[in-house]
Amino acid sequence: DCDLLFQTMFDEYFNPPTIVVSPVQEAAALRVVDLADYPVSTSIDQDAPSTSIPSTQEQ
């Protein structure tokens, strides 16, 4: 039984089923990639508390 189970797992791994992607899904994926090319502005809050830990600590 184990041989049959593992054989089907190996068959799926080495011969994966073909997945058909519709043109609509491809166009949507390309649109998301195109949005990544636009510049993005970020603002930094100068008054925010620091999250850094001092490197010198007395023992």
Q: Note if the pTM is more than 0.75.
A: no
**What confidence tens digit (pLDDT) does each residue in 6-59 have?**
887 788 777 777 776 666 655 555 555 454 555 666 666 667 666 666 666 554
Q: How high is the pLDDT of residue 32?
A: 52
Q: CA angle 39-29-14, nearest 5°?
A: 130
CA distance 21 to 24: 8
CA distance 15 to 17: 6
Domain residue ranges of the chain, discontinuous segments joined by +: 2-34
CA distance 29 to 23: 10
